[in-house]
Structure 1
């Protein structure tokens, strides 16, 4: 079965179920915690793919990764996923659920990446500028990444504007290589 199809089917089912139970936003927030846990603890993904780890332990790991006390709808869903042996797809299911939720609730995710920390007034100006360009609710994420050297990277949902020094250096390098 297609690896994109499995997370999509499960995420759609979870969204429908959570919406009917009135807990779609709580599930969205808890799955956000889960995605962050997968990012900060790569061993979590390995544990989900480990067939020797008992289902009860996997359930407990996922519950802890979602903040310790997940919504009942989400906990029932996790049990279903584990029973169907699809726990290795939990990160992808969570990401797909977040996309479905954002689309259904008219939310745009804005990510700003800079090399140095920006002050709160600059971030507020960026937020205001982005809000003036859309009628969607904004979910604003700010990241500092010194590897971009300077400039910024702006991501709006699936679009990206890369005005970083690192990107400009890569472009210059490619021009020099291709001009031989």
Structure 2
């Protein structure tokens, strides 16, 4: 819980500054670089090692982030000094959510029984955009257990129009009657 809260605070502060400076996309890219550093366990261990000199840590970060990105460098150095590089992914996730909300983008999960071709995926994405009136990023998943039909999760709303769900509903109605 503390990690998520901390990640949200960092993300909110970074987003506000990025908005102010017109650097929304470049800040996201920089956060992705920090996440890549954090995923490297050996590098993270070095950067979070209190016994390693600050100069060596600075050199390691400069090498990976580049010299022209001072805010990302300072963020990575600060997280490393607090042994919190592990929250970089949380920060990126929260930042991405803020950016998507700002841009009016909704994340949608679509589940089908069979794999869809690109044309079908584009058609479904377009229909969802028309229905909700926003741009969407769709995550398509295949789940054979739904038998047929489609399930859609839009925000907190689940629309289950699968054959499995219809059969379950029918079974319940028949057992009550």
**For this structure pair, what is the TM-score category when the shorter chain's length is used for normalisation?**
0.5 to 0.7
Pairs within 5 Å for 1:1-180 = 2-28=2-28, 44=39, 47=41, 53-55=45-47, 56=57, 72=69, 73-146=71-144, 150-164=148-162, 168=165
Counterpart-to-counterpart distance in 2, 1:98 and 1:30:
12
1:108 and 1:138 in contact (8 A); partners too: yes
Counterpart-to-counterpart distance in 2, 1:15 and 1:106:
15
State the match for 2:53 in structure 1. none
2:34 and 2:72 in contact (8 A); partners too: no
2:146 and 2:165 in contact (8 A); partners too: no
Q: Alpha-carbon deviation of 1:9?
A: 0.5
What SS is found at the alignment partner of 2:132?
Answer: coil
RMSD: 4.0
Question: Unaligned stretches of 5+ in structure 2?
Answer: 48-56
Q: Alpha-carbon deviation of 1:19?
A: 2.3
Question: Which of the two has higher C-alpha Rg?
Answer: 2
Question: Unaligned stretches of 5+ in structure 1?
Answer: 38-42
TM-score (ref. length: structure 1):
0.62
TM-score (ref. length: structure 2):
0.63
Counterpart-to-counterpart distance in 1, 2:30 and 2:114:
29
Q: Alpha-carbon deviation of 1:91?
A: 1.9
Q: Alpha-carbon deviation of 1:168?
A: 4.2
State the match for 2:50 in structure 1. none
State the match for 1:40 in structure 2. none
